[in-house]
């Protein structure tokens, strides 16, 4: 009986699982926004939910019942160019490439961008053109230009020619691997410096999974907000933008969003 006496002092006791004063984040969000639990979990998983300036990363995390959430929805999808062969869109951050494919009837992705990456995304509209485009990608006849903010100060051009191996069990993860990796080439040139962060231009002619992210992290310049590959800087998203892509003699360009134009 004596061992139970401290339980009478409840004022400073920490919240425990099941305590009526805390609940899972997705359930609190669902109640606040009057949406389903499934929709609330999806919003958190997509990185769209914040408490103050901190992103909610775990949908099942226990949080105080009086937590107030903020949802930042992605910008509208902008069509940059369209004809009978191709649709070029400016993909906002936080939207999956396959969501865009589903939204454009009869179109098929010619490549993909990571969910948090913004910029030019191309879709083919007929079988003949898609076959041509796929062959161009296979033969490395496609040039992609990106812009990113990275950690560290970069003053000189940087060329990274190291093979990348991707592990696709669960969430995809890539790494430099000289034995198992496939060829990957990345050219990085400095644009501007702000404090200990650098804005860089990037050109690639290969398209390995997470290629730019892996190469920059390996070189000691992880992309701001890329926690998966070592960034220690908090950001609302991975600060990487697909600025342009040249395919079959035509170049498609997407303007830089505000978070890329200038850091902070």
Angle, alpha carbons 253-255-259 (nearest 5°): 140
Q: Could you say which DSSP state residue 182 is in?
A: B
List CB contacts of 54: < 8 A, sequence separation 6 or more: 234
Q: How far apart are CA 264 and CA 224, in angstroms?
A: 11
216 touches 93 (CB < 8 A): no
Strand partners, 50: 55, 70
Q: Could you say which DSSP state residue 237 is in?
A: S
Q: How far apart are CA 184 and CA 126, in angstroms?
A: 29
Q: How far apart are CA 92 and CA 3, in angstroms?
A: 57
Length of the chain: 264
Tokens standing for residue 173? 């993860």
114 annotated active-site:
yes
Closest CA to 118 of 251, 264, 236: 236
Q: How far apart are CA 88 and CA 42, in angstroms?
A: 26
Q: Which of 85, 114, 205, 259 is catalytic?
A: 114
Residues annotated as catalytic are 114
């Amino acid at each position: 009986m004596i061992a139970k006496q401290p339980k009478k002092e409840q004022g400073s006791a920490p919240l425990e699982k099941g305590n009526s004063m805390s609940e899972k984040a997705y359930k609190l969000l669902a109640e606040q926004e009057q949406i389903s639990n499934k929709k609330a979990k999806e919003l958190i998983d997509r990185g769209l939910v914040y408490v103050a300036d901190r992103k909610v990363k775990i949908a099942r995390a226990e949080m105080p019942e009086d937590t107030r959430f903020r949802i930042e929805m992605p910008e509208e999808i902008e069509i940059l160019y369209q004809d009978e062969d191709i649709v070029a869109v400016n993909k906002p951050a936080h939207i999956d490439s396959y969501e865009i494919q589903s939204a454009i009837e009869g179109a098929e992705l010619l490549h993909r961008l990571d969910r948090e990456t913004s910029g030019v995304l191309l879709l083919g509209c007929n079988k003949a053109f898609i076959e041509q485009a796929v062959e161009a990608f296979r033969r490395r006849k496609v040039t992609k230009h990106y812009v990113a903010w990275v950690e560290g100060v970069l003053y000189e051009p940087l060329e990274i020619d190291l093979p990348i191996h991707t592990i696709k069990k669960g969430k995809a993860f890539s790494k430099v691997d000289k034995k198992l990796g496939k060829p990957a080439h990345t050219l990085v040139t400095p644009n501007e410096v702000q404090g200990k962060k650098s804005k860089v231009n990037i050109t690639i002619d290969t398209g390995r999974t997470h290629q730019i992210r892996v190469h920059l992290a390996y070189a000691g310049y992880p992309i701001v907000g890329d926690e998966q590959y070592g960034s220690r800087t908090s950001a609302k998203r991975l600060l990487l933008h697909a600025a342009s892509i040249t395919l079959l003699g035509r170049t498609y360009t997407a303007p830089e969003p505000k978070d890329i134009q200038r850091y902070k």
